[in-house]
Amino acid sequence: MFKINDNFLALNQNYLFSQVARKINAYMNSNPGVRIIRMGIGDVSRPLAPAVISALHEAVEEQTSCDTFCGYGPEQGHRFLTEAIAAHDYQARGIQISADEIFISDGAKSDTGNIGDILSLTNKVALTNPVYPVYLDTNIMSGRASIDNIELLPCTADNNFVPSLPTGNPDMIYLCYPNNPTGTTLNRDQLKEWVDYAKAHGALILFDSAYEAFITEDDVPHSIYEIEGATEVAIEFRSFSKTAGFTGLRCAYTVVPMALKGENAIGESVSLNALWQRRQSTKFNGASYLSQRAAEAVYSPEGKKQIRSTIDYYLRNATVLREGLKKAGLNVYGGVNAPYIWVKTPDGMDSWSFFDILLEQCNIACTPGVGFGSAGEGYVRLTAFGSYEDCLQAVERLSLLKM
């Protein structure tokens, strides 16, 4: 009989969102007519920018003629998009990243999950705790790590959500800033410590900046490559999902700098850019032409203005929620440079108990922090991706909270 990949059996069953859905449904069944404000799921709610819609229409129209029809594109992505990204997201910020170092994909989830293909299974891994679960699960699936041999770096109110440098000499370090789920950030000096650590210890930083567009504070770097020397130690993941509402359309990119080199089994230096190019051209046939044209429109003058106004809309939601939660007597984190608000549960309550209280007393659905890792216990996550009206209503309901 054929064998399965046993590593899959070592994964934690991911009950988080199904358990949340089950609890909400049970509550609604016993309280018909009640409207739950859903602040748990990390999906956007605003429509695509008009500039993106026009680009999509044009790209569809091109498909109607033999002269302009577009079939397979370059696996690394169309040049019109990699060049726009290099110019607007990097060179405009004084960062020397070129189009050849950018790889377009269908999502940062795929890229952060797939990147392990080009890295040795003998590498040791470090993750922050709580964490976006993809980094952990994909390392377990590949057999590189088990939950017992991954170094987990706690991020809680006690250390102001700034992880300590690792002690176990990891080879691969996943960092996500602005952070999902805590909504917190590292400033330039703090991120520099990580880059310096990686240089000194020969480690690779896998830097997920899917929420970069939400940064409002000057001292928070938009890219890890703002830090000197980072092109030699870091891969950066970005996505149009939260930046421009592409969660359904799908487009993202990964930066693998030419300067980034790893070692092969006999100690020779090998380009990661070349390996990722080989991996993508073997297992991936490119993101759709339509979504790449749509992503290109994000960088047009109108596109930029339109996506900015949507991001500002979500950030205003975050401010309303933060203030409302504080007024209700709760300690809140994040929500300034991110669409996520991380709330400390009152009186040492566990995450699920506070989830129940918010659901029953305020009819608000959140995500229990413990679902993102053991250091998320005692917190819940609220997202600002809903409507402004819902946020105002949520705040009104929070004022009735009895703890």
Residues making up the chain, counted from first to last = 403
- Separation of first and last alpha carbons in the chain: 57
Q: Which of 40, 77, 107, 257 binds ligand PLP (CB under 6 A)?
A: 107
CB of 64 to ligand PLP, least distance (A): 29
- 112 versus 156: smaller Cβ distance to ligand PLP: 112
* Token pair 């979504």: residue: 291
Q: How far is CA 42 from the centre of its chain?
A: 10
Half-sphere exposure of 292 (CA within 13 A, CB side): 24
Does residue number 180 form part of the binding site for ligand PLP (CB under 6 A)?
Answer: yes
CB of 241 to ligand PLP, least distance (A): 3
Here the tokens at position 125 are 């891994």
Report how far residue 363's alpha carbon sits from residue 291's, in angstroms, rounded to the nearest whole number: 37
- 215 versus 252: smaller Cβ distance to ligand PLP: 252
- 185 versus 239: smaller Cβ distance to ligand PLP: 239
- In three-state secondary structure terms, 233 is coil
Interaction with ligand PLP in 223-242: which residues (CB under 6 A)? 239, 241
CB of 356 to ligand PLP, least distance (A): 25
The answer to whether residues 261 and 272 touch, using CB atoms and an 8 Å cutoff, is yes
The answer to whether residues 350 and 378 touch, using CB atoms and an 8 Å cutoff, is yes
Binding mask 159-178 for ligand PLP (x = CB under 6 A): -----------------x--
Q: Of 213, 228, 398, nearest to 315 (Cα)?
A: 213
H/E run at residue 317: helix 301-327
* Token pair 């040791």: residue: 124
Segment contacting ligand PLP (CB under 6 A): 101-109, 142-150, 214-222, 225-233? Answer: 101-109
Here the tokens at position 105 are 């994909």
- 45 versus 361: smaller Cβ distance to ligand PLP: 45
H/E run at residue 207: strand 204-208
- 111 versus 171: smaller Cβ distance to ligand PLP: 111
Segment contacting ligand PLP (CB under 6 A): 12-20, 27-35, 60-68, 103-111? Answer: 103-111
CB of 253 to ligand PLP, least distance (A): 9
Does residue number 182 form part of the binding site for ligand PLP (CB under 6 A)?
Answer: no
Report how far residue 81's alpha carbon sits from residue 240's, in angstroms, rounded to the nearest whole number: 12
Does residue number 252 form part of the binding site for ligand PLP (CB under 6 A)?
Answer: yes
Report how far residue 251's alpha carbon sits from residue 299's, in angstroms, rounded to the nearest whole number: 14
| Helix ranges restricted to H, 63-203 | 79-85, 108-114, 133-142, 188-201
Report how far residue 80's alpha carbon sits from residue 67's, in angstroms, rounded to the nearest whole number: 18
Interaction with ligand PLP in 193-212: which residues (CB under 6 A)? 208, 210
Binding mask 113-132 for ligand PLP (x = CB under 6 A): -------------------x
Does residue number 187 form part of the binding site for ligand PLP (CB under 6 A)?
Answer: no
Does residue number 91 form part of the binding site for ligand PLP (CB under 6 A)?
Answer: no
CB of 255 to ligand PLP, least distance (A): 14
Does residue number 213 form part of the binding site for ligand PLP (CB under 6 A)?
Answer: no
Give the total of residues touching ligand PLP (CB under 6 A).
Answer: 14
Does residue number 42 form part of the binding site for ligand PLP (CB under 6 A)?
Answer: yes
- 84 versus 176: smaller Cβ distance to ligand PLP: 176
CB atoms within 10 A of CB 335: 28
Judged by the rule CB under 6 A, the positions of this chain that interact with ligand PLP are 42, 107-109, 112, 132, 176, 180, 208, 210, 239, 241, 247, 252
